[in-house]
Structure 1
Amino acid sequence: MHAAALTISSRNYSSWSLRGWLICRMAGLDFRTEVLSGDDANSRAELLHLSPSFLVPRLRHGDIVVWDTLAIAAYLSETFPEAGLLPRDVAERAHCHSISGEMHAGFVNLRSALPMNLKAFHPGFRLFNGARADIERLVTIFDDCLDRYDGPFLFGPTPCLADAMYAPVCTRFRTYDVRLPPRAAGYRDTILHWPLMVEWAEAAAEEPEEIEELDMEF
């Protein structure tokens, strides 16, 4: 019997579900995954509004219920400190919290223009100025972290919370054929070949198409 349950929405479309799932796996939590139907109101609202503020993903661990990706990360980092969700050094940890919070609250133009869709590929996709500015900021974050901590992940040789937060963006770069400088492209590829990401993508490929409204983006 699993010790916990993580409720998610679509594996193919939901960046927040992906982040929550990665964080739980990185923490070493024994959990089962419960997937909401596309007809569920919370699931559809979270997907169509591209918002982190709905009650998905939601973690139940014993009598404790936690929702919101950063809240799940904070709970699991306290519960499983040995898992290394956060850097040990206080300055690095503060940096990790800062860029994780920036992803949680920002990049609205990119979210709207390039919604997550793991099954799709749009070669030569036209980027508008708002999304370009967000991409430039992402490249700056990647370069800064890789310069400071020597990669291949944002804070060194092993993934942490920040990598879980930025992983869905890497899938968007592939889906929309976004051209990146070599170093940012290398980080994107590191994330896309991360075994946990490969596992998630394989499950997403088997997911039925239920959110028809998202086709209107294209």
Structure 2
Amino acid sequence: MAHAAATTATLTLSSKTYSAWSLRGWLLCKLAGLDVAEKLVENDAANRAELLLLSPSVLVPRLNYGEASVWDTLAIAEFLNETFPEAGMFPADPIARALCRSISGEIHSGFTNLRSALPMNLKVVHDKFPVFSGARPDIERIEAIWEDCLERFGGPFLFGDRPTVADAMYAPVTRRFISYAVAVSPVSRAYCDAIDGWEPMQQWLAAARAEPEEMEELEVEF
């Protein structure tokens, strides 16, 4: 569902190949049914240094909608939910909605070992990759979150048959698991496949593959 209001919407993004936060912001706009013009930050050396200095806030992704300017993915999610309540970005049930917000906040602020061990790179798929042992508790916790939600709400998405804010927040993790051949349970693998088959995710992956090789892979996520 796309909203064709007169209000101008622009989403500032960085690399589609390497930026997990940009992917999250873009998926949130898709969940809201909001068509946005994309503004990509330049990926030259000076801007790379600036991104690293400002990380993790960076103000990317940033949604400009009319007079509003909103950055940080959770702030974008809440703004879009308030602006387009009919989109159903959060579960309707208040208990499920509270859980959705909780696990979205957990991925937003945690799992630093996972981010370091498995940096976002949508152009590679490894057959085998050594996973730093410090990242294992993060992987186990993420799988526990997924399996709990999928069992409770029946899948294929975390809160049932349609994606929510939580799926947008965890989508980059599914690609990390796929890219680095992380051994996960069949339930987690099925969830990764469901996110991979989600149409907006397919659109982003195609754009990432077409992105010019202008940027070195960064060790710090932005």
**How high is the TM-score relative to the length of structure 1?**
0.93
Q: Which residue of 2 aligns with 1:201?
A: 205
Q: How far apart, in 1, do the equivalents of 2:87 and 2:217 lie?
A: 38
Higher relative contact order (CA closer than 8 Å, sequence separation 6+): 2
The answer to whether the 8 Å contact 2:91/2:100 transfers is yes
Structure 1 unmatched ranges of 5 or more? none
The alpha-carbon deviation at position 2 of structure 1 amounts to: 7.1
Q: How far apart, in 2, do the equivalents of 1:55 and 1:88 lie?
A: 30
The alpha-carbon deviation at position 124 of structure 1 amounts to: 1.2
The alpha-carbon deviation at position 209 of structure 1 amounts to: 1.5
What RMSD, in angstroms, separates the aligned Cα atoms of the two structures?
A: 2.0
The answer to whether the 8 Å contact 2:7/2:65 transfers is no
The yes-or-no answer on 1:183 pairing with 2:187 is: yes
The answer to whether the 8 Å contact 1:27/1:80 transfers is yes
Q: How many residues align structurally?
A: 215
Which of 36, 39, 42 pairs up with 1:31? 36
Q: How far apart, in 2, do the equivalents of 1:5 and 1:52 lie?
A: 21
Q: How far apart, in 1, do the equivalents of 2:53 and 2:145 lie?
A: 25
Q: How far apart, in 1, do the equivalents of 2:116 and 2:54 lie?
A: 7
Q: 1:43 to 1:85 in 2, by over 3 A?
A: farther
Alignment of 1:117-132 (within 5 A): 117-132=121-136
Q: How far apart, in 2, do the equivalents of 1:127 and 1:31 lie?
A: 37
The answer to whether the 8 Å contact 1:9/1:43 transfers is no
1:51-78 CA distance string (max 9 Å, x none): 4422000000011100000000010000
Q: How far apart, in 2, do the equivalents of 1:147 and 1:44 lie?
A: 43
Structure 2 unmatched ranges of 5 or more? 1-5
Which of 15, 22, 27 pairs up with 1:17? 22
The answer to whether the 8 Å contact 2:117/2:135 transfers is yes
The yes-or-no answer on 1:72 pairing with 2:76 is: yes
Identity %: 57
